[in-house]
Copies of this chain bind each other. A is one copy, B any other.
């Protein structure tokens, strides 16, 4: 198959590059540790001149050989590369946002090799407490392009991670979203708080400890909220009721349980007594597994985990932006 697009998922810590053919079919894929916070530093000759710009260097490492072979491939990128600390700032688009609106808002940076990189803007929800996403909007649009059949009607897309996003979608449009700092909070508590001192890490997912944490968050005792229940990860250990190896997954379940309990309450407040919406998760398998368990405990109907959301999102945004050769050109 003929390549039609180079698509870059360029975040804070990593840069993933895809060489895509029609319908976002992945021909080649590579991952570099060249996120915007760890760009290459060693100057090299690019396009005949010494270059020390980290973005240029990373871009060349990611797909310079692909462009050498096919110089006219269009290039699209999403993620923190478009932030104020990125290569070129792509100002947030307001909600509601769909693939057409975002596709028409790409920002271009011209590389030293003469190729334009088209950067996808993030999305902002303006309110008393504003909310922002950058990168997730592309994943959401990619997932929406390949929805499971049973997911008509209102849909909730969950993107668990350091900063979990919960995106309400209607008519293939991002209409509202909430952020929870659950993943980052879990990490800093394990690494830097008193809770980490008694924990013993394990590669094994202790589902029993995780489910117990979820149940505590959903229980009557859990109503006091995470600032208080957190301490139980310590006191249950002190009293011999929670082993050191069970403590990390207990804490994970506790935090995710509080997140989903708050999310469900917010949705009910926002939409009245409608049933909770169907959920589509986007993320790595182990994390989606945790969230699936906890969603079920909270009464959500988890229907599916989306796949290839990022590359599909980049593909359809490139299509909406008119970057792809018209299909007819291939039938000649």
Contact = CB atoms under 8 A, between A and B. Distances in A.
A193 B192 CA distance: 10
A229 interface: yes
26 contacts: A128-B216, A129-B221, A129-B229, A129-B235, A130-B232, A130-B236, A130-B241, A131-B235, A132-B238, A179-B231, A179-B235, A180-B227, A180-B231, A181-B193, A181-B227, A181-B228, A185-B185, A185-B227, A188-B189, A191-B192, A192-B192, A224-B262, A224-B263, A225-B225, A226-B226, A227-B258
B182 A227 contact: yes
A231 B163 contact: yes
A328 interface: no
A60 interface: no
Interface of A: 124, 126-132, 163, 178-182, 184-185, 188-189, 191-194, 216, 219, 221, 223-232, 235-236, 238-239, 241, 255, 258-259, 262-263, 265-266, 269
A153 B192 CA distance: 41
A129 B236 contact: yes
A230 B180 CA distance: 8
Q: How many copies does the complex hold?
A: 2
A228 B192 contact: no
Given A130-B239, A131-B231, A223-B269, 6 more contacts: A127-B221, A180-B231, A184-B194, A188-B188, A224-B262, A225-B225
A227 B259 contact: yes
Nearest to A178: B228
B238 A255 contact: no
The prevalent SS among residues of A at the interface is helix
A223 B269 CA distance: 10
Most chain B beta-carbon neighbours within 10 Å: one of A163, A178, A228, A230: A228
A204 B79 CA distance: 37
A262 B239 CA distance: 25
A128 B221 contact: yes
B179 A228 contact: yes
A235 B130 contact: yes
A85 B118 CA distance: 58
Complex A-B, nearest 9 residue pairs according to Cβ-Cβ distance, in ascending order: A129-B232, A225-B262, A130-B235, A179-B231, A180-B227, A188-B192, A188-B188, A181-B230, A180-B228
B235 A265 contact: no
A219 B262 CA distance: 15
